[in-house]
Structure 1
């Protein structure tokens, strides 16, 4: 029951229902009947998503820290991806439906990459929690002062300690940069996918028999989606290279 309630609160389910009701009203269906259409679509979407489960139909859920920023963006991206799939499945045959269906693989690939990035971010965050950057800085400052007046036989050991502290600081800075970069990409990509879905819902609601297909707009949306997909892969590779150093 809790999963069903979660799906009822999914904003994309509400949006799809409202769109369906609005489309029915636009073709002169009685307002009460149009409202019933919208509620029916909303409940049908909820039931289907509940049966399929929120883990992608049996796919192993990513290992992401609960309550983290990466978990937040991943959840939003997953919700948008599910909304995209439900929109595609709800549409009948036609050029618009075919174009939207062609985008499905790009959305799925982007979501899979977001899952990997979220896992990477959680691992990076866990690693960062092991370091106390303020302590490292204070120790480095203290040892630097000590070295200035140290006896010659102690200088070598102090230099080794300072080198170790510098190395640890470099690790922390590299991890912090990686974490920030991954989160920034997750945020921008998620919002872009949400925007894409909102635009497609609008196009599907405005579509009418005999109307010209919005080819140029669909081309732009597909190009934007491909840019999101490629950007995610680039970020994934960049962060892997950074952590391998």
Structure 2
């Protein structure tokens, strides 16, 4: 599906229309001019459609290729469940200031989940690459050749030196892959738990008596800031991962 077709499909999504109507209603409820409230609703609708289309969440979107039973699959499943809970909560809130603020967080949650999916795929590819390295064998051969080099004489010294250089390159690749995978899994864990915490706080806010005003505005600001931190952290980890898994990962033939 082309980007234009995907965008059109997202604009037709009833959920996007509901988000826009909810945001516009929330703005109107706090005495925003009707024209401005309508503008808020249309903006939220367009932003939701644009973000979803960019993330490929239309009909042609495929499931991420993640190794079953892996650590990345576990944290992705938890994050996806939390994101679904967040969407259900935001849809169930009565029209008002709280619903409007929560609705505006939805695109960030979706963006975070999309980045988590890409990181999970990175982690699975990295794990598959690591499986090709027998680190124990590499370490044993390095120790043996180091001892042989200590006793070697003549032309054989150069041969052993080249072999040690090749082993060092393979060990360095394995080390980089291991470090990158560990960084991704750590970020996925903290982000999934962060989204779960966001859902818990939204549940708490929804259970509070309605006040007719923004009441818990400070808490909502903190939640929005925390969610933005999760989103930015994921994008930063994705950039670092992309750099780490560059051309250096393949040893020279």
Distance 1:203 1:182 in 2: 31
Pairing 1:125–2:130 present:
no
Residue 152 of structure 1 aligns to a residue whose secondary structure is coil
Correspondence for 1:220: 222
- Structure 2: gaps (5+ residues): 1-56, 249-253
Q: Residue in 2 aligned with 1:113?
A: 115
Gap regions ≥5 residues in structure 1: 1-55
- Following superposition, the deviation at residue 210 of structure 1 comes to 3.3
Q: Give the aligned partner of residue 137 of structure 1.
A: 139
RMSD value over aligned CA atoms? 1.5
Q: Which string of whole-angstrom CA distances, capped at 9 and with x for unpartnered residues, describes residues 128-187 of structure 1?
A: 111111110110110111112223111111111000000000001000000100000000
**d(CA) in 2 for partners of 1:203, 1:57:** 31
Q: Distance in 2 between matches of 1:200 and 1:233?
A: 24
Per-residue CA distance 1:19-54 (angstroms, 9 max, x = gap): xxxxxxxxxxxxxxxxxxxxxxxxxxxxxxxxxxxx
* Structure 2 counterparts to residues 178-189 of structure 1, below 5 A: 178-189=180-191
Matched with 2:76 is 74
TM-score, normalised relative to structure 1: 0.75
What are the Cα deviations for residues 201-230 of structure 1, in whole angstroms up to 9, with x where unaligned? 110111425365210000000000000000
Measure how far apart 1:120 and its partner are: 0.2
Cross-structure match for 2:167: 165
| 2:90 alignment partner in structure 1 | 88
Q: 1:89 Cα deviation (Å)?
A: 1.1
Which of 139, 152, 157 is the equivalent residue of 1:150? 152
Could you tell me which of 224, 229, 232 is aligned with 2:231?
Answer: 229
Q: Deviations over 1:185-205 (max 9, x none)?
A: 000000000000110011011
Alignment of 1:196-215 (within 5 A): 196-210=198-212, 212-215=214-217
Partner of 1:130, secondary structure, is coil
TM-score, normalised to structure 2's length? 0.73
Q: 1:57 to 1:76 in 2, by over 3 A?
A: farther
Residues 83 and 110 in structure 2, CA contact (< 8 A), matched pair in contact too: yes
SS at match of 1:103: helix
